[in-house]
Structure 1
Amino acid sequence: MGSGKVGSTIGFLAASHNIDDVTLINDHKNKAVGEELDISNAIPEDSQFSVVGTDDISKIKDSKVVVIAANNGKIKTGRMDLLKGNLEMTRDFAKNIQKYAQDARILVITNPVDIITYFVQKESKLPRENVMGLGSNLDSSRLRYLLAKELDTKQSEIHDSLVLGEHGDTMVPILSRAKYGQKLISESLDSIQKEKITNDLKRYWAKIVAMKDVSSVFGISKIAFDMIDAVLNGDELSTPASVLLEGEYGISDVCLGVPLVIGKNETKIQEIELEKSEYDLLQNSAKFLRKQIMNC
C-alpha cells in the first residue's frame, strides 16, 4: 500500500529477486501503473511472477504479506508531525486488511511507525505478532554505521548493534551488547562518545532530509525486503521491530521496538537482558508512546 519511493523500491527488490507476485496500490492509479511498467523490466527472464499497479485496494485479497508504506505529509520537526494525516489513512487500510487479507503478515513503515502499528493491529484485529512496525531495525542499522565511523572500521566489524523502543526521540541504543570484533564496544567508548553517537542516531533522519530532501528510502526498503523474504521463504530472521507487547519487558498495550525472530509461520518476541539504565529508558519510551496513543 503506497507506491512512492519506498513502496516502489520494495516492489523492485521483490520482483528482481524473484520472490513473489507484487501488487502496487496507490490512490493515483497512474503512479502505480507507471511503477508497474518500470519494475516489470527488472523481473528475471525465468521468473513466474508479475507486477501489477492499481488503485483498487481489494487486490490485496489473500496476500501473504501486506506492506503499508503510504505517507500523507512531510516531516518538519519530527515523525510526530505525520500522525494526524497518516492515522486516518492507515486506519482505513487496516479495515480493508481485515476484509481482504486476514491471514497476511503486515509490515508497517508509515510514520510515526509505533503508533500507526498499534492502531493497525487494533483496527485489523489480526494477531499481534502478525503486525510489525519497521523502525528500530532501521535505527539498529544506523547505529552500526555510526559505531563503525566512530571506531574507524568497516560496518562488518560491528556486531550486535541494537536499538529498542520508539522509532523517535525516546529510542534506546543498547550499547551494552554491541561489539567491535569480539570486544564490547562499551569498553572502547567514553561517555562523551556514547552521548554523541546517541544524539547523532536520533537526528540521523534530519541529516538525510537536509541533504537529499527525503528520509530513508534504500535502508528501510532493504529491511522490509529481508522481512518479506523471511516470511515467504522461511529463513528465520533475527531483527528488532515494533509489535504490541503484553507483559514483555514489563510493558503492555503499546507497540515499540523489541528483538524478534521472524519465520514463515510465526514471529517470536525475544526478551534479552538489559542494563538497568537501558531498561528504565525502555519504560520511558513506552510511557511516551502510551501517552500519544491515549491522545489519538
Structure 2
Amino acid sequence: MKVSIIGAGNVGATCAQFIAMKGIVSEIVLLDIAEGLAAGKAMDLAQSMPALGFDTLIYPEVDDYSKTANSEVIVVTSGQPRKPGMSREELVAVNVSIVESVIKNAIKFSPKAVFVIVTNPLDTMTLVALKASGLPKNKIIGMGTILDSNRFRYFLSKKLQKPINEIEAMVIGGHGDTTMIPIKELATYKGIPISEILTNEAFEEVIKETMVGGATLTKLLGTSAWYGPGAAVTELVDTIVNDKKKLMPNSVYLQGEFGIDGVCIGVPCIIGKHGVEGILEIKLSDSDKIKFINSANAIKEVNGLI
C-alpha cells in the first residue's frame, strides 16, 4: 500500500516520519517542488531506520506526480505556512492556486485515492480541493479539528494534572482561532464529565488556551507547528488505510447536516477506507449551536475570497 505526501516541509516530513514508524503502509512517496528538499528529508529518515527498527520505503520526488500513482491516500501539506501575527485567512490568496494545482496533478494518477488536506486556511482549502478534484465529498477530508481536539485534551490534562490519554475531548467547527468550538459537555476523564471536576472558571481558561493553541505555537516557533499536525494526519491515514471506522472530528462538506449547507467544517465523522463513511449529528447546546452557525458563516466569508 502507498501513501503520497505532497509537500516535504516540516509538516509533510513529520507525517512521513510518523507514518513510516508506525508501519501503516509499505511505501511513502514524499514529493516537493523544491530541488533537494524531499531527497534530503527522505535520506535523513532512511538513515534513522536501523536505530528505530522500521523499514518503510520512502521515495523522494521533485514534482513528478507519476510516482504517486495508485496511492490509497494523498496528504496535501503544500502551501505557505503561517507566520507570527498572520491569520490563516491571510493565506488564502497564495494557497488556493497551490492546492488546486496539487489536486489536479495528483488525481490524474490516483483517481481512487482519499485526499487529506492540511494546508491552511484548512476549511477553505478543503473546499478548494473538493471543487478541483470533482470527487465525491467523502473522498476529501480536512485534518483540522482532530488536531484541535488533541490540543484541547493537552490543556485539560495540564489543568487536571492527569494523563492525557485518560482524557477524551472534542472540538468541532472551523480550524481557526475564533471559529473552533471545544465541546465542554463531551470532555471526560475516565468517563467522568470534566465539568464535574473543574470549576467553570478553570474550564473556560482551558477553552481559551485551546482556541489560541495554534497561534501560541506559531509565536513560540516562528512558524506553524509540525509534530501535532503530523501525528493527527498519521492517525487519520491509519484509520483510512486500515478501515478502522473510528469516530474523528474532520472538516468535511456539509449538505444540510447540523443545519449547514455548502461549507467544509469540522464535525464528528466515521472514517474508513472510503473516507468519510458517516457524519454523527451530535446534540449541541443552544450556545454551541449559535457558535457553530457563526463558525460556518465565518468560513463562508473566507470562501468568498476564492
TM-score of the two chains, using structure 2 as the length reference:
0.90
Contact 2:81 2:223 in 1 (8 A): no
Of 2, 7, 12, which aligns to 1:7?
12
- Alignment pair present for 1:61 and 2:40: no
Q: C-alpha deviations, 1:180-211, integer Å up to 9, x for none? A: 23321223344433332222112112221232
**In structure 2, what is the equivalent of residue 280 of structure 1?**
290
Matches of 1:115 and 1:84, distance apart in 2? 11
Aligned with residue 124 of structure 1, among 118, 133, 144: 133
Q: Is 1:22 aligned with 2:28? A: yes
User: Contact conserved, 2:65 with 2:106, CA < 8 A, in 1?
Assistant: no
Q: How does 1:31-70 map to 2 (within 5 A)?
A: 31-43=37-49, 49-55=56-62, 56-70=64-78
Count of residue pairs the alignment pairs up? 295
CA deviation profile, 1:199-257 (whole Å, cap 9, x unmatched): 21121122212322233211111111111112222223221010101111011110010
Query: How far off its partner does 1:47 sit?
Result: 7.2
Counterpart in 1 of 2:223? 214
| Secondary structure, counterpart of 1:3 in structure 2 | coil
More off after superposition, 148-157 vs 267-276: 148-157
> 1-side partners of 2:161 and 2:175: how far apart?
26
1:25, CA displacement in angstroms?
0.7
Secondary structure of the structure 2 residue equivalent to 1:29 = coil
Task: Please say which of residues 257-266 and 282-291 is displaced more in the overlay.
Answer: 257-266
Once superposed, what is the RMSD of the aligned Cα atoms? 1.9
Q: 1:123 to 1:46 in 2, by over 3 A?
A: same
SS in 1 for 2:208: helix
Report Cα offsets for 1:90-111 as digits up to 9, x if no partner. 0111211332221101111110
Which residue, out of 127, 131, 140, partners 2:149? 140
Structure 1 Cα separation of the partners of residues 259 and 20 of structure 2 = 40
Match of 1:246 in 2: 255
Aligned-pair identity (%)? 31
Deviations 1:48-71 (A, max 9, x none): 742111111232222111000112
23-32 vs 174-183, which deviates more? 174-183
Q: Which runs of 5+ in 2 are unaligned?
A: 1-5
Letter in 1 for 2:95: N
Contact 1:15 1:42 in 2 (8 A): no
Partner secondary structure for residue 18 of structure 2: helix
Indicate which of 97, 103, 107 corresponds to 2:106: 97
Please say if residues 129 and 140 of structure 2, whose CA atoms lie closer than 8 Å, have aligned partners that are also in contact: yes
Higher relative contact order (CA 8 A, sep 6+): 2
Cα 1:266/1:66, change in 2 over 3 Å = closer
Contact 1:14 1:20 in 2 (8 A): no
2:3 paired residue number:
none
1:71 aligns with 2:79: yes
Gapped regions of structure 1 (runs ≥ 5):
none
* Correspondent of 1:177 among 156, 180, 186: 186
